[in-house]
Each structure stands twice: as C-alpha cells, then as structure tokens.
Amino acid sequence: MPVDLKLVEWIAGNKAKFGRDEIIERLKKQGHGEQDIIDSYEQVVKKVPLITPKKSMFATVILNFLVPGVGNIYLGKYVMGVVLVFLCVLSWIFNFTLVGIIVGVPLLGVTWLIALITGISSCRRINRGEL
C-alpha cells in the first residue's frame, strides 16, 4: 500500500516529540485512516527509501552539453536549470556585439561548465537516493 508523503513528513518531524501511540491518536483526530498512519509510521521508523526513478547520466550530460541548464531541468532542478538557460541566452546575445564578446564568451564557458558539473553531481546524488 503506498504511503502518504505528507504523513511521512509530519511523522518524521514530530517523532522526537511524541510517542507512537500519541502520533497515531493525533493523526486519527485529523481524519487520517489508522492503516495509512501505521504504514507511514513504519516508513519513517524503518527508513525505507521511497522509490525514486533513476535518471540517465548520459541524457543529463548530452542535454547540458547542447543547451546549458536543460539537463538540470530534466533532473527536476528547475530553478537552477532556468537560471543556466537564461545565462546561456544572455551570453549568446552578448556575442553579437563587439564589446559583448569580451563578456559573452567567458560567460557561456562558465555557464556550460557549471551546468555540466551541477548536472553530473545532481544525477549521481539522485541515483544514490540522496536527493
């Protein structure tokens, strides 16, 4: 039976404050079913990792190589991905001006490296279950 992630988070945050029976009673009063509470509690106590889909390192690298930030978006790191895509577009715009080339080329290189490094690092952490 799948567990309710909100219950798991609530139980994990309050496990130190309350005992098992008190947690069950409090959650019953909030209208949660007893079996859902027990399953969620067991999830927290056993620290069974929730199943997260593995992400492809190859796809992450290729996407970030082609357009810096898209690989991060693929990994679910939306804010970082959008910022990197914005910096990539900004650097390309700079490259169309003479003075901008001085800023645009280094900015594109740094953005590209940051996208690859953060993408690879995040993909490894996701696949190990750390994120």
Domain borders along the chain are 5-46, 57-128
Residue that has been written with the tokens 């490094």 in this structure: 117
Sequence-distant (6+) residues with CB within 8 A of 23 are 11, 14, 15, 37, 41
Work out the average pLDDT over 78-104.
88
**Rg over CA atoms, the chain:** 22
pLDDT tens digits, 34-76: 777 777 777 766 664 556 678 999 999 999 999 999 999 999 9
pTM equals 0.60
CA triplet 78, 130, 42: central angle to 5 degrees? 115
Contact status, residue 52 vs residue 20, Cβ threshold 8 Å: no
Check residue 2 and give its pLDDT. 60
